[in-house]
């Protein structure tokens, strides 16, 4: 019998396995695949959740608030460890909330599509159009040439990127500012090598740029009433609780908010330079950011085409619509024409729709955008945003928000020199787990009551509480702007914590110093408030 026949006979023998068996190796690999750090973190989430459900009694028994806290610990354990992909963890609330009796399935699903999410959808379509026509590359080259310097100064270049983002964020929604500026920032970073060939100095500068964009968007929004919804909520509550007091106008807030934002911005830039712009980074980056070469590349892009002009026009109109939808109570904006039914997402989707109607004048019948160009829409961000809104709703409806509010009662006995940083830190901690707007709505009414007890002007507590709600610097879910930067792949949660902790401390210190000084002058907190009585509350 030859070799082929022997092999054939062996294969026909039922006693001979078709595949070789290595029992010890297979068993060991099976054990190793089960007992991994990733699987431990997967089990850690539900384990901690079960411990809280069994051992923690927030209201004297197991109720929705306890379940909400347990689910929060589960979800944030998976988010922080990334044991399960972040988009999948974000979707887990769709079954966790109904199973734990926190909310109905329909109510949870509604959180995954609201006005802010449509704002992000429309903004991302516009951002894809900007990217498709290389507008972000043209803007990135202009900013780089302007701030590049000769020789190259990484801190100065970082300052230019951050300052531009902060200025844009003063006049438009923080998320929209981050969405608009992130392609500009990544357009600069695309010039650097990626992967194993990327040096540590280049990698650190990339982190600094992305962190600078998302945090500058938050800081810039503090300076104007239209920069963020938190400021408008504060102004609305002030007028609601104290209708006879002087309203907080756009200019009044700007005189306080702008100096505050400038000081926090300087702290942000200093922190980023200390952590990420190390000695020798200028030499490492100069090989990829030669000024003469950058000018040649800008010339190679040629004159601005019709399609680029139209995309810029649509984006500019959208910015104007965002800025003018709701300005102040005295100047209601165009949103009043529709009885408040139109939101920022309305304008965002409407202007994004125009991109599919306006021709690009490149090919007959071809529009500025088509759906094939939208296949890169970051649905993982949409799911993460939806999870954040679902958590905010769950914290409120489950009663966990009331439990958190009750924990602030100790502030009534704290002297004012400590009250501003205490309020700011507590508000800044809560906002990491709920939306900025939800935190403001939760904390400010309680602070008004505490101000009455302490016989203080309410703005001395309301402003630190509202500003502190915008110090969401530690987690990607703290604010949609953080998610925009996190999904670029250049930063990790550890980078956000390393930068966010000193930035949160610096912001708290600046606010604590400005509120009793500049704030007293601008808001006239030293003057008695005539209608500040129990009846007004």
DSSP letters of 219-282? HHHTTSGGG-HHHHHHHHHHHHH-TTSPP--HHHHHHHHHHHHHHHHHHHHHHHHHHH--TTHH
Q: How confident is the model at residue 1 (pLDDT cuts 50, 70, 90)?
A: very low
pLDDT score for 258 = 92
- The DSSP symbol for 149 reads T
Instruction: Please give the residue that has the higher pLDDT: either 220 or 456.
Output: 220
Mean pLDDT of 237-248: 76
Q: How confident is the model at residue 57 (pLDDT cuts 50, 70, 90)?
A: confident
Mean pLDDT of 394-416: 70
Q: How confident is the model at residue 311 (pLDDT cuts 50, 70, 90)?
A: very high
Distance separating alpha carbons of residues 189 and 136, to the nearest angstrom: 12
User: Is the model's pLDDT at 68 over the cut of 50?
Assistant: yes
Distance separating alpha carbons of residues 386 and 366, to the nearest angstrom: 34
């Amino acid at each position: 019998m030859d070799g082929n026949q022997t092999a054939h006979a062996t294969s026909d023998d039922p006693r001979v396995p078709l595949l070789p068996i290595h029992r010890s190796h297979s068993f060991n690999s099976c054990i190793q695949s089960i007992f991994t750090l990733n699987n431990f973190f997967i089990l850690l989430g539900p384990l901690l959740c079960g411990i809280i459900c069994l051992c923690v009694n927030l209201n004297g028994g197991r109720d929705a608030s306890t379940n909400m806290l347990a689910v929060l610990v589960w979800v944030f354990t998976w988010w922080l460890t990334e044991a399960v992909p972040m988009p999948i963890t974000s979707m887990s609330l769709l079954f966790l909330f109904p199973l734990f009796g926190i909310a109905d399935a329909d109510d949870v699903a509604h959180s995954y599509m609201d006005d802010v999410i449509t704002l992000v959808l429309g903004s991302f379509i516009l951002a894809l159009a900007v990217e498709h026509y290389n507008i972000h590359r043209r803007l990135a080259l202009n900013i780089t040439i302007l701030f590049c310097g000769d020789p190259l100064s990484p801190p100065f270049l970082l300052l230019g990127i951050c300052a531009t983002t902060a200025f844009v964020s003063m006049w438009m929604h923080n998320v929209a500012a981050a969405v608009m500026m992130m392609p500009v920032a990544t357009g600069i970073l695309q010039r650097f090598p990626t992967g194993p060939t990327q040096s540590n100095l280049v990698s650190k500068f990339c982190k600094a740029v992305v962190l600078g964009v998302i945090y500058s968007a938050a800081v810039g929004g503090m300076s104007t009433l239209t920069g963020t919804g938190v400021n408008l909520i504060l102004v609305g509550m002030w007028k609601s609780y104290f209708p006879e007091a002087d309203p907080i106008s756009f200019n009044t807030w700007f005189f306080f908010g702008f100096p505050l934002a400038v000081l926090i911005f300087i702290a942000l830039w200093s922190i980023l330079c200390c952590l990420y712009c190390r000695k020798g980074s200028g030499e490492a980056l100069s090989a990829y950011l030669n000024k003469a070469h950058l000018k040649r590349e800008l010339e190679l892009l040629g004159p601005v085409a019709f399609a680029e002009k139209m995309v810029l026009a649509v984006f500019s109109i959208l910015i104007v619509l965002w800025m003018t939808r709701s300005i102040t109570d005295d100047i209601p904006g165009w949103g009043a024409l529709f009885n408040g039914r139109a939101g920022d997402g309305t304008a965002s989707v409407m202007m994004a729709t125009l991109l599919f109607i306006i021709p690009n004048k490149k090919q007959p019948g071809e529009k500025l955008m088509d759906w094939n160009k939208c296949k890169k829409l970051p649905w993982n961000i949409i799911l993460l945003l939806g999870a954040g809104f679902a958590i905010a709703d769950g914290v409120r409806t489950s009663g966990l928000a009331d439990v958190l509010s009750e924990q602030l009662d100790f502030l009534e006995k704290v002297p004012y020199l400590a009250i501003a940083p205490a309020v700011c830190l507590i508000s800044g901690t809560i906002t990491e787990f709920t939306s900025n707007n939800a935190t403001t709505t939760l904390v400010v009414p309680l602070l008004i009551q505490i101000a009455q007890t302490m016989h203080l002007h309410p703005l001395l507590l309301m402003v630190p509480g509202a500003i502190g709600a915008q110090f969401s610097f530690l987690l990607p879910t703290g604010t949609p702007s953080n998610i925009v930067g996190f999904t670029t792949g250049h930063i990790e949660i550890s980078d956000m914590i390393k930068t966010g902790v000193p930035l949160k401390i610096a912001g708290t210190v600046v606010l604590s110093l400005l509120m009793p000084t500049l704030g007293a002058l601008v808001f006239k907190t030293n003057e008695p408030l005539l209608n500040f009585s129990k009846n007004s509350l």
